[in-house]
Structure formats: structure tokens, C-alpha cells
Structure 1
Amino acid sequence: MYQTDPPIPPKESLPTMYDLPSEDPEEPGLPDEFHIYQPQLLEETFRPPTYTADEIFVASDLNIYYSTLNPRWYKRPDWFAVVGTSRFYQQRDLRLSYVIWQEGISPFVAVELLSPRTEKEDLGQSLRIVEENQPPTKWQVYEQILRVPYYIVFDRYTDNLRAFVLQADSYTELNLEEPRIWMPRLEIGLGLWQGTYKGIERLWLRWYDNENNWLLTLAEQQSQRAEQQSQRAEQERQRAEQQSQRAEQERQRAEQERQRAERLAAKLRELGVNPDELI
């Protein structure tokens, strides 16, 4: 397990979220499209029933500052989720970064989307002995410092999904018989979904519920509500049409009864009987 021997400086002397950079000038530019869309889909479908929306914070490509001894060391997951914390920094502000010594809660799940440049570090194949001027690798930070319970790695070039769960002091890779990982504490799971998102058909990482139903995006929820409203409107139209048909049938029966009564009255008059006197 990664350990730091020097004494931890007092929290009051450590930088806050506002003091730490949210971007690395040595890594300019935005991620590629997949690194933009995939985290969006994860965020849109991440709705664990065990937590309210105000108790969940999710982010993509956001710095996590993790070391009180080296406050400017950070890692930047492609996507991560924290549960049991406020949606906002100190209950009021949007976060510029996630500063672990202020937040006090580590991410519950982190997702990395493999790229050739970062593959070895993402998969824990480039571990290093931490020195004063050399930070630990991403794997070491997730496993030994932040102790993130679930670490998910997805290679979009091979569609290979790998999942690591924290057991004792180290990550153990799950043997996935199918590309799905159930997380009991969240009561939702993460798996590979074949479908169209943002107009792109491919395999995507997506959250699902305890009935193996894919959790809906906001657009899908709106479409579903619109479809349900359309169906209800059609049902109302059909009921109104049925009521109109029944009313017409009643009118026709009443008309037939009136006509029969008139024919009977006419027949009685032919026989010299005044039908009005029979009442």
C-alpha cells in the first residue's frame, strides 16, 4: 500500500479548489469526440436509486487533487462519480476541481477510456516508486490513495471492457462472463450497450437497473413521455369516438322507437281507435 511518511500539513495551510489550476497548460486542446460523448452518456444514465440527485457528484476530465504533501499533484479521470456528497462545492458553488482533503469522500467509481498514450498507466503496467518530484501513476492513486471501489477501463478500439474491484489493499480484476458489472451499493450496474447516441451507432458504456433495463437519457425520457402522452391522447380520442358512436346508436334506437310508435298510432287510427285515448 502506498504510504507517505512526512507529517501531513494542517488543512488550513493547504490550497483550496480556487487556488489550484483546473487545466494543465502542457496538455492543451479538448478530448476527441468519443471522450466527450461517452462521459455524457454515463452522466445522463447514472441514477442510483439509493441516492438523491443532491447526493451525487459526477464529472469528466476534471482534476482530482489527492496529496496533502504535494497539493498540486492531480489525476484527471475520463469520468468519475462520488456518492454521498453534495452536488455542489460547499453546498453552493460549481466545482473547478475535486480536492480530496476538502471533500473528504473519494470517488466510488472511476472510468478510463483507453488511448495508446495512456494505456500502460491506465492498466497499472507502469507503476513507479514515488519520489519527491515524481507523482504516482493513475493506477496507484486510484488503488492506494483514493481507494476507489470500482475502476472501469474501456477500449473503444477493441470494445474490450475490464473491471477492477478494490479488495483489501489492491485491485482484483473481475471475470466478466458478459460485459456488465453490477454494483450492489448503488443498485445499478454498468455494461456495454449497442445503440445510437448523438447520432452515432456503436457499443457504449451505459448504466442499467436491477431489471436489466438500460437507464434512459434525458432525451429518451422526454421522448418516452411524449410517446406516452401521444398514446393517452389517442386513447382519449378512441374513447371519445366510442362514446360518440354509442350516442349515435342510442339516437338511432330512439328514432326507430319513435317511428314504430308513429306507425302503430297510424294503424290504430285506421281501425277507428284514437291512440291518445289508450294512455
Structure 2
Amino acid sequence: MTPTFEVTSQTNLPQPTPPDISDLVIEDDQPVDSLYSEKLQRLLTNALYASFKPGIPFLVTANVGLFYALKTNPLVPDVMLSLGVSAPTNFERREDRTYFVWEMGKPPEVAIEIVSNRKGHELGSKLTAYAHAGVSYYVVYDPLVQLKELQGSRLAIFERQGSQLVPYDSTWMPDVGLGLTLWQGSFEGVTVEWLRWCDQEGQILLTGEERSEQLLELLRSHGITPPEN
């Protein structure tokens, strides 16, 4: 006899009740970043939206809360990258104004912390929390070389192995299709060292303005004078 199975429609199954987030503080107005950190966050987000083409949607944010568990304080990475998710089309729902892992369906791939002082616990409690949050790569950039644990290095990357984040000896993140490099140059009129995204060959990903300037230089090299605005 051929066995028979009763198929239950997925729509008839009880759906999980969304968690109550009405009491969660998901945004505030406290300015805590330095001018350098604020510029660097803009540089890192701008370059991805201008030049990163992974073939799938992605979301890159600066100073947005990462809620990974109820009744747990959120993390607020300086920069966060998540592949396979898109920004909401509007922000009327509270659930769409920050990064709830249970809403997005996954943790972000990359979280970057820019060290501004010695009290940020980037290599202590934050390292543990990002491991609990499930990020694939955790990046600590110390532009002023303030953390003794980095032994004079300005950049440290940690990779997920199991439930832990462990030191990673490369700046190329194959699961993301991106690398990181330290670059000396000018951004928004400031010439210092910057943390930049790069490809596997170490070529930096350009911002929208840099791409436009590169195109103008190409036109000029061919004797074409672009019209002035």
C-alpha cells in the first residue's frame, strides 16, 4: 500500500508572535563621535554604496543599533555591513529604524569599531558581545594607537570560528568579498591616514566623488574638456 500524507498549508500554521519592542530605546541624539570618526564612517559607507557590486542587496550603516537579543543592550558599531538585506522602503515602523537581527533574519557580516579612547572595551566586553551577536568579522581600528593589546598595530580583524571571534591574520574577507587597508590620502579636504575598503588586489573602493573625478581625468587625458556646471 502506498503511504499517504496529510499536507498542512503553511498559512494555517501558528505564526510566531513578534517580540514587544515598545520599551526599547532604538535612537537618541547624543553626539559622541569625534570629527575624524564621523568622516571615516561617511567614507566607509559612501565607498560601498558607490563601488561595491556583490550581486545581492546589502546594507551598510554608521552608528545604528544592533539588537541581537531581547533584554540585552544593543551594540552600536561605528560601521556595520550586512549582505542579503535591504534598507526598508520607509521608516514608519519602529522595527525598521534600526537593526533587529530577528527582523533582518541574520546578523551582519562585518562590524567595525573605531577606537577613540582607552575606555571603549573594544578588545574586552565588546569583543565578547559581538561574538554573541553572531557577526562574521569584527574589526578594530585604532588610529591613535591607544590600545596596548594591539602592540602598536592600528588594525585588528577577528573572524568567527564556532561561537567565538578569534584573531584573523589577513585583511581580505573572502566570505564578504571585501578587504580593508590603511590608506594615506585626502577625503573631504583632510589628508591623513584612513581605513578603506579594498578588493583582493588591494585596490581601494572609490567614493562617488572619487569615481567622478577619475572619469573627469580620463576625459581630460583624451583631450576632452568636460563642460562646467
What's the TM-score bracket when you normalise by the shorter of the two chains?
Answer: 0.7 to 0.9
How many angstroms does 1:160 deviate by?
A: 1.0
**Alpha-carbon displacement from aligned partner over 1:172-200 (angstroms, at most 9, x marks no partner):** 11236xxxx10112322111111111211
CA RMSD of aligned residues (A): 2.4
Partner amino acid, structure 1, of 2:168: L
2:63 partner SS = coil
- Say whether 1:230 aligns with 2:220: yes
For residue 165 of structure 1, what is the aligned residue in structure 2? Answer: 159
Partner amino acid, structure 1, of 2:90: D
Match of 1:140 among 119, 128, 133: 128
Q: Following superposition of structure 1 onto structure 2, how do residues 76-225 of structure 1 map, counting pairs within 5 Å? A: 76-86=76-86, 88-89=87-88, 92-94=89-91, 95-119=96-120, 121-124=121-124, 137-144=125-132, 146-158=133-145, 160-175=154-169, 181-225=171-215
C-alpha distance in structure 2 between counterparts of 1:111 and 1:40, whole Å: 13
CA distance 1:198–1:11, change in 2 (3 Å): farther
How many angstroms does 1:118 deviate by?
A: 3.5
How many angstroms does 1:40 deviate by?
A: 1.1
* Residues 51 and 84 in structure 1, CA contact (< 8 A), matched pair in contact too: no
- Structure with higher Rg: it is 1
- Percent of aligned positions that are identical: 28
* Residues 193 and 203 in structure 1, CA contact (< 8 A), matched pair in contact too: yes
Alignment coverage as a number of residue pairs: 198
C-alpha distance in structure 2 between counterparts of 1:101 and 1:198, whole Å: 37
Partner amino acid, structure 2, of 1:142: Y
- Structure 1, unpaired ranges of 5+: 1-9, 125-136, 236-279
For residue 35 of structure 2, what is the aligned residue in structure 1? Answer: 33
**Alpha-carbon displacement from aligned partner over 1:4-35 (angstroms, at most 9, x marks no partner):** xxxxxx8524135x86433347xx22421112
* Residues 78 and 113 in structure 2, CA contact (< 8 A), matched pair in contact too: yes
Q: TM-score when scaled to structure 1?
A: 0.64
For residue 257 of structure 1, what is the aligned residue in structure 2? Answer: none
Q: TM-score when scaled to structure 2?
A: 0.77
2:220 partner SS = helix
2:214 partner SS = helix
Deviating beyond 4 angstroms after TM superposition, the runs of 4 or more aligned structure 1 residues are none
For residue 23 of structure 1, what is the aligned residue in structure 2? Answer: 27
- Structure 2, unpaired ranges of 5+: 1-14, 146-152
If each structure's helix is expressed as a fraction of its own residues, which one has the higher value?
1
2:116 partner SS = coil
* Residues 182 and 193 in structure 2, CA contact (< 8 A), matched pair in contact too: yes
